[in-house]
A = this chain, B = another copy of it.
C-alpha cells in the first residue's frame, strides 16, 4: 500500500494541482463565528460564560484563572517537564532577544533628522489551544517574544476542561513568561473577548496564536474591523526534500510528525533524483511509513493527512527548488547531500531545517526558533512570528528652519504637481512666504 501519491517531474497545471491546499471556506463556519462574535461584542461576559458552558460543559465561577489555580498547577507539573520547559524557554529567549531591533537615527541633510522609534505593541492577546493536544509549547513561543518586546498588557486565553480546569503545564509556562491574566476561554468567543474586551477580559491591539477553523475564522473576521492578528492560519504542513542518500527512516518520521497534527495536515516529499532511483527511494520511505505508523497514536489524523499528501520526484536540484518556492512550505526540511546548496535557492518558506539531524520537532519545541509560521502558501509574502511581531516602528522627523528651507523648493514643486495647495502653504507659511 502506498501512502503518498507518486509523481515524476510534474509541470504546469499538474504541478499546480499537487501543490494546491484544500481551502474550503465553509459558509456555515463563517456564519456561526459571526454570530458568536456579535454575541460577545454586545453581551460581554454573559455571552462568554454561556458559550463556554455550551462548548466545554464547564460551569465557570470566574473566567479568569486565580492565583490559587496557578499555585495548584505548579504543584501538578512534573520536575522533568519543568526542566524541559526551562531549557526550551532559555533557547527561545536567547534567539528572540537577538532579534530586538535598534532603530535607525540618520541626518539626511543639515537640519533634517530622521529616526525610527521602536515601541512594543501595548496590549497583546495570546491564544493557546487546549483539549486533546494542549499546546504547552505555544505558550512559550508567544509569551517569550511578548515579554522580550516589552508588551505592557499580555492576556492569554485557553479553554478549560469540563471541570473548569486549565492544563497545568500551560499555566506553568504562562507564569514563566510573567503572564498573570489567563482566561478560561476557547474558540471564537476567546478571540471575540480579546478583540472587543468584556467586563473580565481586557481589549487587546493584536491577537496571536493557532487554533481550529473557528478560531482561525474569528481571527480573520476581527482583523477586518478592529484588531490585528499575527497571520492568517491554515492546517500545518511540511515539505521534506531528500536526495537518494538520505535515511528513509528519518524522512518517514518527519512526514509522520507533521501528519499527526490534525485531519488536514499535509506532508509533502520532494525527492531529487532520476525516475528509477527516486521511486525506489520512495518505496523505502513507504516501507518506513508503514513500519513507524504502527507504533503511533492518532491513527485517524495520520491516515487522513497522508491521504492528501504527495511525493514528487525531481531530476535536478533546481527543479526541486522550483517546487519548494511554488509551494512555499511552512516547514522545509532539507535532507540532501549538501543542504546549503538548496537552501541558497529557497526564497519562499516559513522555517528551514538543514541536514539529517534537524528534525521539525527541534524547532517545534526547543531549539529556539518560533513555531508560529505561515501556512497555506502565505510564506510567499509573510514571515513567522518573531520579536518583530510584537513591536512597532514609528518614524520620527525633526526639521530645523534651515532644513525646511533647503527642502522647500522640492516640497513646493511636488505639492503643486499633486495639486495640493494646502500642503504647499504649510511649508511657505513657516518660511515667512506669501501664501
Contacts and interface: CB of A to CB of B under 8 A. Distances in A.
Contact of A357 (B117, B228, B369, B400): B400
Contacts of A407: 87, 362, 366-367
A408 to B, nearest CB: 9
B112 A418 contact: no
Interface string A1-32: 00000000000000000000001010000000
Interface stretch (A131-139, A271-279, A315-323): A131-139
A378 B423 contact: no
Contact of A368 (B114, B253, B352): B114
A357 B427 CA distance: 8
Interface of A is mostly: mixed
Interface in A193-230: 205-206, 220, 224-225, 227-228
Contacts of A418: 133-137
A60 interface: no
B381 A227 contact: yes
Given A135-B418, A228-B382, A254 B411 contact: no
B393 A386 contact: yes
Contacts of A261: 420
Contacts of A378: 228
B133 A397 contact: no
A112 B366 CA distance: 10
A70 interface: no
A157 B114 CA distance: 30
Interface string A346-363: 111111111111111111
B369 A399 contact: no
A95 B23 CA distance: 40
A418 to B, nearest CB: 6
Given A417-B81, A421-B298, A430-B359, A365 B260 contact: no
Interface string A111-126: 0101011011111000
A421 B295 contact: yes
A424 B257 CA distance: 8
A61 interface: no
A360 B424 CA distance: 10
B95 A108 contact: yes
Contact of A352 (B379, B394, B414, B429): B394
A132 B417 CA distance: 11
B398 A259 contact: no
A420 B360 contact: no
A289 to B, nearest CB: 11
A401 interface: yes
Contacts of A122: 325, 347-348, 380
A367 B257 contact: no
In the A-B complex, list the 7 residue pairs whose CB atoms are closest, starting with the nearest: A84-B413, A228-B381, A253-B426, A205-B381, A354-B398, A257-B422, A256-B422
Given A134-B418, A367-B397, 14 more contacts: A95-B106, A95-B108, A117-B343, A136-B418, A257-B420, A257-B425, A297-B421, A298-B422, A302-B422, A352-B397, A353-B397, A355-B398, A361-B423, A379-B392
13 contacts: A23-B225, A133-B420, A137-B414, A250-B430, A253-B425, A352-B396, A354-B398, A358-B397, A359-B426, A359-B427, A362-B399, A366-B410, A382-B392
